[in-house]
Structure 1
């Protein structure tokens, strides 16, 4: 299955009261750039991440959101949403991001990426959009986009193909994981079947299933 990149986006540093970082700065406002960008194990070259306690790191090195899902929101809200409007590094086209399987590998440009987890909406996202109820609405929609780790560093640019080169057999998708972690806890046991589940998520699932508060 092959789609393509509609855009590659980098942050414009924004200072705002709603920014999650203690310094009041955020990189959620991402905008398309010309030419290829280096995707590194520790993140996207030239990008800015404000609140590193909850964003960035190897399991969240790259964030992808589907152009088709952005179009749904644009119609729902009656306003245009440009690439990068969800804070995504990669805006995809003809790629089933919500249906991507955890551990699935994508060849993107000269890089090799691996699906790790869905994006969970935060107050910074709601502040950026100026929508106090965005977290509730985004959660209900359950098309959260996907974080990816970088297995092989390389460059990617708008128009590059996105090819699914490996897909685990367990079948647990970004959408299913998102619903398990938010509105449908009965799905949590399914997540423990995922060999490539990020360890912090695995520990969170175990705590919830045992009722531990630690």
Structure 2
């Protein structure tokens, strides 16, 4: 599979009552950059992150969302959801983000990224969009986008190809992880095969699987 980057988006500092950060600031409002952007192990250069307890860090250094899924939301909401409108750093085109396998590696620009886990919708997201039931609707849609860790630093710009370098044999996808954690708990045991999931996620899965046993 080879898709491309439709836009690289950077977060603005937004002050609002709905912002999750204790200071009332959020970086969810992201706008396309004019040119290539450095991508570091800690995240995308120039991207503001407000609530660092839940966002950012090596396992969530980059957030990717498919332009095709954003188009679905545009139709659903009756308004344009522009690149960055999902709070994503990378808006992709012709990339199966929901079907991406945990641990698969992408070559994007001069960087190499690795798929780690799906995004979990939060109240900040709902407040930014002004849609009170967005968490419920986002969960039901089950197209959450993918967080990625940076394996090789580099630069990424709009138009760069997204090439899957390798894909783990376990086949556990972003979509499956999201559904298992939020909609279909019967899928939880399967997630234990996806050892590239961040350890806090794996530990949560282990506890839930153990609690479900007689």
Q: Same fold by TM-score, threshold 0.5 exceeded? A: yes
Structure 1 residue 107 displacement after superposition: 0.2
Instruction: State how far apart, in whole Å, the 1-side matches of 2:101 and 2:138 are.
Output: 20
Which deviations, in whole Å up to 9, do the C-alpha atoms of 1:81-122 show, x marking residues without a partner? 100000000000000000000001000000000000000000
SS at match of 1:211: helix
Instruction: State how far apart, in whole Å, the 2-side matches of 1:2 and 1:75 are.
Output: 26
Structure 1 residue 206 displacement after superposition: 1.0
Taking only aligned residues, the RMSD between alpha carbons, in angstroms, comes to: 0.8
- Runs (4 or more) in structure 1 with deviation over 3 Å come to none
Instruction: State how far apart, in whole Å, the 2-side matches of 1:13 and 1:204 are.
Output: 32
Unaligned stretches of 5+ residues in structure 2 = none
1:123 and 2:139 matched = no
Structure 1 residue 209 displacement after superposition: 1.6
Match of 2:85 in 1: 85
Which deviations, in whole Å up to 9, do the C-alpha atoms of 1:160-185 show, x marking residues without a partner? 00001110110100000000010111
Match of 1:177 in 2: 177
Match of 1:105 in 2: 105
Unaligned stretches of 5+ residues in structure 1 = none
Instruction: State how far apart, in whole Å, the 1-side matches of 2:5 and 2:36 are.
Output: 11
Match of 2:38 in 1: 38
Structure 1 residue 210 displacement after superposition: 2.0
SS at match of 1:34: coil
Structure 1 residue 195 displacement after superposition: 2.0
Aligned length: 212
Structure 1 residue 149 displacement after superposition: 0.1
Which deviations, in whole Å up to 9, do the C-alpha atoms of 1:102-152 show, x marking residues without a partner? 001000000000000000000000000001100000000000000000000
Match of 1:14 in 2: 14
Instruction: State how far apart, in whole Å, the 2-side matches of 1:43 and 1:23 are.
Output: 21
1:186 and 2:183 matched = no
Which deviations, in whole Å up to 9, do the C-alpha atoms of 1:55-100 show, x marking residues without a partner? 0000000000000000011011111010000000000000000000
SS at match of 1:106: strand
